[in-house]
A and B are shown apart, each in its own frame.
Chain A
Amino acid sequence: MIPKIRVVLAKPGLDGHDRGAKVIAQALRDAGMEVIYTGIRQTPQAIVNAVLQEDASVLGLSILSGAHNHLLPKVMELLKANQMDDVLVVAGGVIPDEDIPGLKEAGIKEIFTPGTSMQKVVDYINNNLLRK
């Protein structure tokens, strides 16, 4: 049996809008992945700890408060500091186009903006795993 892809979904910062995170969690589960959802109000450190503990190969970050430019790079720094560069990191939420290049430079592989289909997220993860 092929082991299931393990995904940690997290909401950094103080933002409580978790509708998106929860439907993505369900969609990834329906697609056969193992999903660990951290809940809201997670610090970058707590998120990285969850990825470490759960031995996840994918980290999904959901943020709608506008604090993405400050919080997401912090998560990436901590992942690097823990030699976890092979975790595929994607993000979703209300993120203006002009902020996307900067976030990608910080190491986030893909940003899903409002209106993205659930299937697109599933396909992206299946096709872009860094850790096999």
Chain B
Amino acid sequence: MFDSNELNKIKKERQDWEQKKLNPTLERLPGRKDNFVTGSSDLVDTIYSPENLGDLDYAEQVGFPGQYPFTRGVQPTMYRGRLWTMRQYAGFGTAEESNRRYKYLLEQGQTGLSVAFDLATQIGYDSDFEMSYGEVGKVGVAIDSLADIETLFKGIPLDKVSTSMTINSPAAVLLAMYIVVAEKQGVPASKITGTIQNDILKEYVARGTYIFPPKPSMRLITDIFAYCSKHVPRWNTISISGYHIREAGSTAAQEIGFTLANGIAYVQSAIDAGLDVDSFATRLSFFFNAYNDLLEEVAKFRAARRLWATIMKDRFGAKNEKAKMLRFHTQTGGSTLTAQQPMNNIARVTIQTLAAVLGGTQSLHTNSYDEALALPTEESVRVALRTQQIVAHESGVADTVDPLAGSYYIEAKTNQIEKQALDYIKKIDRLGGVVSAIEKGYIQKEIQTSSYRYLSDIEKEERIVVGVNKFEIEEANKPDLLKVDFLVQEEQIKKLQAMKQGRDNESVQKSLFELRKVAESKNNIMPAILDAVKVYATLGEICGVLREVFGEYKETIVL
């Protein structure tokens, strides 16, 4: 961005400043710390200047929003045209209770839904299965069959609301249920909008709700890509997620590196299955975390966009601009919330919201202040949503595109994170790709090392967490918490058993038999799953057939 004469002049000025101003000041008043580091433990200098950007080519590397390499954002006007989608992840107990919460959130001005499923649903077990004991309705809503999905979306117009579903291994089944419910509302599959997470690779390293081994899991994913590109064209078929990698303790650069490496694996596997990159890649979406180090996080989002665009162009030869765009959802960092003095979390979430918005997110979930203690209450969720609305309407940061661009620090940091992330991708390539790197435990180990270092820094008080290792108080009053009643499990099991008695069991058996045949073949599995769902085969029955055909994944334990 600067020619060498100018840079030399700046260098001389800086040396002069160091001698005359900086050093005398440091002698009188040394820094608060020997080393200043970011949230990801990278060193931070006293000051950044054009010297840090030496050969940055503005037009090539930063450019303008809405065009390659999308460093400054994926749309030309960003939030001046339309604000990001405010989408709170919610769900607990039964479908009835969650349906009420969704209607409440929509009344409060939320613009999209995001469904949290309980763990039994996420792992493809029915509520009456022994492994589901105690988990039914706990971290999300319990779904056993189409009947529950019908209740969940009762009175919610699926042609107007877009829905994101955090579902991975059984994503095909939940998507099928959603398609059928929409059709019953009179909304054709071609009109529905939303996202399924459908990102199995990060489940193996971070989140843990895997069912099948990598190979059949990748086949399910590419079957969904292929089916949706024909029949559900407005659906985001995957949300390639760094969120959980970060929650597991990774750094910002690892979050990007490992997530884009997973992205590469999905794109490659779809290309290998004969799909056209310029078509399916337009429906890929991403999901990232927003932590407290505001500037590092903003740089991270910018680096991710630029790196993905170059990967799609150079590695996969994508020509369609949309196929090179990294569109992403953000959630504020759950693990940054403290159980101590929970109201302080509202301040943390505000900083993280700013990071996501200044980083150009397409949609955002803000965590509630009580989430280090339990699922959020209606009141705490409202505060979280209001935080987004305040940033959107009062802070002014949404009114110009990528306002931090051109900051010497932000641009230097964007370059640095891009390089660090690319180094991880190269390392994973050398290990034979993501699946092999997971089987060798490489990714897990890298995350664990970062996670342990972070916690050790807090323990040594080299890192301050307000209310946890500094500024602590005795707390008598904890906020009112949401409780999911154990009765939910009994109620859900009763509903499931009644549903099974009322359905046409012969059709169910037939559909499961057909599903098995398709699973054993190379044909696309979606139509058979849709048929099974329509006759009210349960999630557990469908996944049970697939478990028998595909087998189950056993984790590589790395310590």
Q: Please measure, in the bound complex, the distance between the C-alpha atom of A65 and the C-alpha atom of B135, giving whole angstroms.
A: 7
Assess A66 versus B247: contact at CB under 8 Å? Given A35-B559, A96-B373, A115-B338. no
Confirm or deny: B374 has a beta carbon within 8 angstroms of a beta carbon on chain A. Answer: yes
The digit string for A3-37, where 1 denotes a CB below 8 A from any CB of B, is 00000000001111111001101110100000101
Q: Are A37 and B557 in contact (CB under 8 A)?
A: yes
Minimum CB–CB distance for B454 against chain A, Å: 9
B115-136 interface (Cβ within 8 A of A): 119-120, 122-123, 125, 130-135
Q: Please measure, in the bound complex, the distance between the C-alpha atom of A41 and the C-alpha atom of B553, giving whole angstroms.
A: 12
The digit string for B462-488, where 1 denotes a CB below 8 A from any CB of A, is 000100110000000010010010100
Confirm or deny: A118 has a beta carbon within 8 angstroms of a beta carbon on chain B. Answer: yes
Contacts of B133 in A (CB 8 A): 70-71
Confirm or deny: A39 has a beta carbon within 8 angstroms of a beta carbon on chain B. Answer: yes
Q: Are A67 and B452 in contact (CB under 8 A)?
A: no
Minimal Cβ-Cβ distance residue in B for A40: B208
B97-144 interface (Cβ within 8 A of A): 119-120, 122-123, 125, 130-135, 138-139
Confirm or deny: A82 has a beta carbon within 8 angstroms of a beta carbon on chain B. Answer: no
Count, A-B residue pairs, CB within 8 A: 99
Minimal Cβ-Cβ distance residue in B for A64: B139
Minimal Cβ-Cβ distance residue in A for B375: A66
Contacts of A13 in B (CB 8 A): 119, 134-135
Assess A94 versus B135: contact at CB under 8 Å? Given A22-B448, A113-B339. no
Q: Are B375 and A39 in contact (CB under 8 A)?
A: no
Interface of B is mostly: loop
Q: Are B131 and A14 in contact (CB under 8 A)?
A: yes
A44-89 interface (Cβ within 8 A of B): 65-67, 69-71
Confirm or deny: A119 has a beta carbon within 8 angstroms of a beta carbon on chain B. Answer: yes
Q: How many residues of chain B are within 8 Å of chain A by beta carbon?
A: 44
Q: Please measure, in the bound complex, the distance between the C-alpha atom of A114 and the C-alpha atom of B555, giving whole angstroms.
A: 26
The digit string for A90-116, where 1 denotes a CB below 8 A from any CB of B, is 000010110000000000000001110
Contacts of B135 in A (CB 8 A): 13-15, 65, 67
Other A-B pairs beyond A14-B132, A16-B207, 6, CB < 8 Å: A14-B131, A27-B452, A66-B374, A66-B375, A114-B372, A118-B456
Minimum CB–CB distance for B193 against chain A, Å: 29
Minimal Cβ-Cβ distance residue in B for A35: B559
9 tightest Cβ-Cβ pairs between the two chains A and B: A16-B208, A70-B134, A67-B134, A14-B119, A66-B138, A114-B339, A115-B468, A39-B557, A67-B135
Q: Are A25 and B459 in contact (CB under 8 A)?
A: no
Interface residues in chain B, defined as those with a beta carbon under 8 Å from any beta carbon in chain A: 119-120, 122-123, 125, 130-135, 138-139, 203, 207-209, 247-249, 335, 338-340, 372-375, 448, 451-452, 455-456, 459, 465, 468-469, 478, 481, 484, 486, 555, 557, 559
Contacts of B451 in A (CB 8 A): 19, 22-23
Highest count of chain A CB atoms <10 Å: which of B340, B375, B452, B456: B452
**Other-chain residue from A25, A43, A70, A119 in contact with B486 (beta carbon distance below 8 A):** A70
Minimum CB–CB distance for B559 against chain A, Å: 5
Q: Are B123 and A14 in contact (CB under 8 A)?
A: yes
Q: Are B131 and A114 in contact (CB under 8 A)?
A: no
Minimal Cβ-Cβ distance residue in B for A38: B557
